[in-house]
Amino acid sequence: MAVNSVNAIRKELLRRGFHNPRMAEIESHLVGSGSKACKYLIFMGLYPLPDPAVHTDPGSAVIAPFAAVHYYRRCTKTLQNLVSELRHETGIPKRDIRIFSNSRLPERSIAAALGMGWVGRNGLLMNREYGSSFVLAGMLIVLDPPNETLLQGTGELPRILSLKAPPDPHRECGKCSACVMACPTGAISTTGGVSLERCLQYLSTSTEDLPEFALAAWGRRLYGCQECQNNCPVNINRNHREPPDIPAGEEYPIHELLTRFALHPASALKEIFPGTALEAGWIPRESILRNLLIAAGNSKDSSLEPLIHPFLKDPHPIVTHAASFALYQISVK
């Protein structure tokens, strides 16, 4: 690809709200394409997120700030527009470009290998300037030969991990263990890494009953957890503060949501939470309803009882179990 095309992409990434753009050329053996001789170019950027709001209403359920707006979709749409507009300048056919954000690619490891930060003990990409308050997004471009078919499917993508992982991904964390201490379920190991089955973020979308330890720590969560990020000194002391966005919503009154779920039993989440990451098709409706009922129980608000009762007959066992839990929680003073 011509140098002026690379510069044009970099400039446009910056102009469209991405920060710290990085790129690397990747040889075929790093992608794992066997004997085929081909080259890829990878571009990545950080899309900074605004500071979270303070949630004080005990009658509301909360969506984690990073999901209050569908930032992943915002990033991919921005990149799609960029690709369309730069088609003339770069001469690259659309089929040779794969756009990604929150994809199956090991994005954090690739970003670390590109020098965009390090993978912290909490498993997230950390950066002194931005903390972990950003979304990652980028493009993978087939350079040579053109029309290469490897990007047609997703099967090849995870293999790009072999780019070059840093030897000790957590070394920049030093002796800090603030995220380990802050995690309400003990999901983070002192040696680094997150146990997914103990992580409330991961459990938000599970389709099983929440285990006891998660029920005890759930609070008013509707979707997501970022306690480990909120308590990370790199995040707290970061230099870059993104101006406030207008979020689609972080706090939702529990009684209103229970009413909406009951009145519209077949509604997709995108109708109940428009503009948020809950619009993503892979998030199960019953998981969010389960989370809401647990938050309702934890609110201890007895006026919610008549709104909870109808869910004892829901077809999804995780919802009926959560409704029973909620009624029990409210009954215990």
Under rule CB under 6 A, residue 120 binds ligand SF4: yes
Question: How many residues make up the chain in this entry?
Answer: 333
For ligand SF4, the closer CB: 75 or 228: 228
Going residue by residue from 222 to 261, which x/- string records binding to ligand SF4, judged by CB under 6 A?
---xxxx---xxx---------------------------
Q: How many residues bind ligand SF4 (CB under 6 A)?
A: 24
Q: Which CA distances in Å does 100 have to 74, 142, 149, 151?
A: 11, 14, 17, 12
What residues numbered 193-222 form the site for ligand SF4, per CB under 6 A?
194, 199-201
What residues numbered 136-175 form the site for ligand SF4, per CB under 6 A?
173
Under rule CB under 6 A, residue 122 binds ligand SF4: yes
For ligand SF4, the closer CB: 99 or 124: 124
Q: Can you tell me which of 179, 269, 304, 307 binds ligand SF4, judged by CB under 6 A? A: 179
Under rule CB under 6 A, residue 176 binds ligand SF4: yes
CB of 199 to ligand SF4, least distance (A): 3
Under rule CB under 6 A, residue 183 binds ligand SF4: yes
For ligand SF4, the closer CB: 35 or 239: 239
Taking CB atoms, the residue at the shortest distance from ligand SF4 is 120
Instruction: Determine how β-strand 125-126 pairs with β-strand 118-119.
Output: antiparallel
For ligand SF4, the closer CB: 21 or 123: 123
Q: Can you tell me which of 60, 127, 133, 185 binds ligand SF4, judged by CB under 6 A? A: 185
Question: How far is it between the farthest Cα atoms of the chain?
Answer: 69
DSSP string computed for 101-123: SS-SS-HHHHHHHTTS-EE-TTS
For ligand SF4, the closer CB: 150 or 232: 232
Alpha-carbon distance of 255 to 257, in angstroms, equals 6
Identify which of 133, 126, 209 has the alpha carbon closest to the alpha carbon of residue 174. Answer: 126
Using an 8 Å Cβ cutoff, are 106 and 161 in contact? yes
Under rule CB under 6 A, residue 113 binds ligand SF4: no
CB of 228 to ligand SF4, least distance (A): 3
Helix extents (H) in the chain: 3-15, 28-31, 71-90, 107-113, 178-182, 200-203, 212-217, 227-230, 233-236, 254-263, 269-272, 285-299, 305-308, 317-331
Under rule CB under 6 A, residue 98 binds ligand SF4: no
Sheet holding 221-223, edge to edge: 221-223, 60-63, 251-253
The three-state secondary structure class of 83 is helix
Using an 8 Å Cβ cutoff, are 254 and 304 in contact? yes
Region binding ligand SF4 by CB under 6 A among candidate stretches 69-77, 83-91, 182-190, 318-326: 182-190
**Residue ranges that bind ligand SF4, judged by CB under 6 A:** 120-122, 126, 173, 176-179, 183, 185, 187-188, 194, 199-201, 225-228, 232-234
